[in-house]
Amino acid sequence: MLSRHLVFVFTLSIAGFSSAMADQRLDVLKRISAAGAPALTLKMLDQAQPGVDEDLYEWILWEQERYKILSKWNQWDQLLVKLESLPVDIPEQFRNQAITYKARAYIQQGQTTTARKILRDQLWKSAADLVSEYQTWRRLIIESYLHDARIEDARIAMLRFDHDFNSKDESWLQLRATVLIQTERYQQAIEVLKGLNSWQNRYITLLGKYLSTDITASDLWLTVKKALANKEASEEELATLWALAFFASEKMSPVDRVVALEQYFKNAVGSPVALFEIAIDRLWQAYAEYADLVGNRSELLLGDDHRWLELAEKTAIDTPIKARSLFALLMAKGEERDVINLAAEGYLKTFTEINEAERNLLNQLFNHSDAFKDASRIPPLMRYQLVDLALMNADIVEATRLMSGLTTYPAGTDRLSWQLRQSRVLILGGRFDEGNLIMQTLISEYTEPNAESTDKILQVLFDMQTVNLDEEVVQHLNRLLALGVEPRQHREILFWIGDSYKSLKRYDQAALLYLQSAMIPDPEAMDPWAQTARFNAAESLQKAGLVDDARRIYEALLAVTQEPARRSLLNHNIQQLWLNQNTE
C-alpha cells in the first residue's frame, strides 16, 4: 500500500520535561545544534517552547537559545524576522539583548548603516551608559566601521572606547588588536595580546608578526602546516589556519593560493575571527591567476576556449588543482555554452568523490559568489549538484532558486524523475503555478503508466495537497485514473481524490469517492484499506448532513471490528449521530 506520509518519530520528549528541568532541556538542544542539525533543533524548539503568556521567564530562555543557534549558523534573515515580531511588553534587559542580536545581524548582512542607526538610537538614550549592553553596542559600532573598511573611523572609536573603559576583556582586546593590525600598527597589536594564549590570540599575533616582517611567508607556511597536524583542532581553528596559509601564499605561488583557499572553503564553517574572514570571490580570482599562468606557459590565446578546455582535460588526472583552475576560468569567463558545461563536468571529475567537504566548496563557489548571483549563469550540471545539496540541507528556498528555469535534466536521470523533482521543489518553495504547470505537462505526456512511476507522481501530488492545491490535484488524479492504472493504485487514487474533496468541503463527493475506493476490487470488501475508506466516508456523510447513511456505515464497520479501541470510537460516533439528530 502506498504510504502518503513518511512519519519521523523523535524519541526525544522535550515537551514532557517539567519546568524545573529547563537547563537540561536547553543542554539537549545545544548538543543537537552543535552536532550539525540546527533545523531539527529549531523545529523541536518551536514544539517545546512555552507561550510568552504561559511562562515568560522560560520563554525568554528558549528565545535566547533560538537567537544563539540562528547566529551560529548565519541564519540572519530568520533571526531578523524573529526579532521584528517580539512582543511589545518584554523585560527591558531582554529587549536590550535582542537589539544587540539585531545590530549584529544587520552588520553580517552588510547593512551597516541600519545597524549603526539602531545602535546610536540606543546609545543616545538617557542613562544608556548604565545598561549592561552599553559597551557591546559601542564595540559593534567599531565592528561596523571595520566591515565598511572605514579604518580610521574604527581607530578613533577604539581610542574613545579605551579612554572610557580601559577594558581588559579578552574579546575587546582581540577587537582592539584587529583595529591596530588594520591600521598597520602591528607591534602594538602584538603587545595588546601578550600573555593571552587562546588559539585565536596566538593566530592574530602570528599574523601581526608576519605582516610586520618578523617572520617570512615560508616561516608562516611551515608553522601552519605543523599546526594543521593537530587532530583536536576545531573546524573554526582549521579555517583560521588555512586563512593564515592563504596570507602566506600571497607572497608565494598561485598554486599555493588555490590550495589554501580551497581548503578554507571546504570547511563547514569559516573563521570566527574577523581578520581571517575571506570572500569566496578571492578563490575565483586565485583560479584565474593560476590558469592565466598555465595558459601563458602553453601559449594559449584568450578566447580560444576549446584549446583551454583541451589543456584542462589533459591535466585533470595528474594535476587536478591546475585542471580545476582552468575549468573554473572557463566557467567564469567562457563564451560558448557547450564549453562552459563541459568545464563544469570536468571540474567535478577532478574530485575523487563529491563528499561533504567538496559540497561545502561548491556551495560557497556558486551560492555565495557575486559572479553567480543569477542562478541562470551557473552551468546546469553544477546546478544539479547544488539542488541536491540544498535538498539535503532542507533549504527549499535555495533549491527553488537553483531549480527555476532549468529545462534540461542530468545524465543518468530520466526526464520524468527530473520533472517530478523540479515540480516538488517549486511547489514546496511556494512557486505553485510553476510546479503545477510541470505536473500538467508531465501527466499529459504520461501515456504508458507503470506502478513505480505512478507512485512517484502520487508522492508529488500529496505535496500539492499539503499546500492546499486540491482543485489542481483532483484534475491530475482524474487524468491518472483515465490512463488505466493497476487496481491497487486505482483504489488509492480514488481515496486521495476523496481527501481533496474533503479539504474543499465538498463532503458528499468525498464520501462517494471513499466508498468507491472501499469497494475495489470487491463491493463487500472489509480489509484494512476498505475499513479506513468506509470510516472516512461515514465522517464525510456526517458532515454533509446525511446522518442515516453515516450511521449505517458505522454500524457495518462495528459488525466486523474486534479491536476494543476502534469499537469504542465507532460506538462514540454512532452515539454522537443520535445526540445531534435528537437535538436538532
pLDDT at position 412, please?
62
* Eight-class DSSP state of 11: -
CB of 489 closer than 8 Å to CB of 457: no
pLDDT score recorded for residue 8 = 28
What is the spatial distance between Cα 561 and Cα 568, in angstroms, rounded to a whole number?
Answer: 10
Nearest CA to 59 out of 69, 68, 49 is that of 49
Give the pLDDT confidence of 462-500 residue by residue, as tens digits. Answer: 888 888 899 999 999 999 888 878 888 888 889 999 999
Q: Residue type for 502, please? A: K
Q: How far apart are CA 411 and CA 570, in angstroms?
A: 53
Question: Does residue 523 sit in helix, strand or coil?
Answer: coil
For 484, the grid coordinates are: 488505466
Containing 521, the helix (H) or strand (E) segment is none
Q: Can you give the pTM of this predicted structure? A: 0.70
* Among 242, 329, 346, CA closest to 293: 329
- C-alpha distance from residue 487 to each of 182, 442, 481, 512 (Å): 73, 22, 10, 18
- The reported pLDDT for the residue numbered 49 is 83
Complete DSSP assignment for 73-132? TT-HHHHHHHHHT--TT--HHHHHHHHHHHHHHHHHTT-HHHHHHHHHHHHTSTTGGGST
Please give the pLDDT value at position 580. Answer: 64
Q: Which amino acid is at 25?
A: R
Q: Which residues of 48-62 are buried (b: 16+ CB within 10 A; e: fewer)?
A: bbbeeeeebebbbbb
C-alpha cell at 192: 595588546
Work out the number of other CB atoms within 10 angstroms of the CB of residue 442. 20
Rounded Cα distance, 502 and 465, in Å: 11
Three-state SS letters, 278-301: CCCHHHHHHHHHHHHHHHHHCCCC
Structural domains of the chain sorted by starting position, each given as residue range(s) with its CATH number in brackets: 486-584 (1.25.40.10)
DSSP H helix total and E strand total for the chain: 30, 0
Q: Per-residue pLDDT tens for 34-51?
A: 666 677 678 778 877 888
Report pLDDT for 138.
95
Beta-carbon contacts of 314 under 8 Å, excluding residues fewer than 6 positions away, are none
Give every residue of the chain whose pLDDT is below 50, as ranges.
1-20
Taking the C-alpha atoms of residue 246 and residue 207, their distance in angstroms, rounded to an integer, is: 11
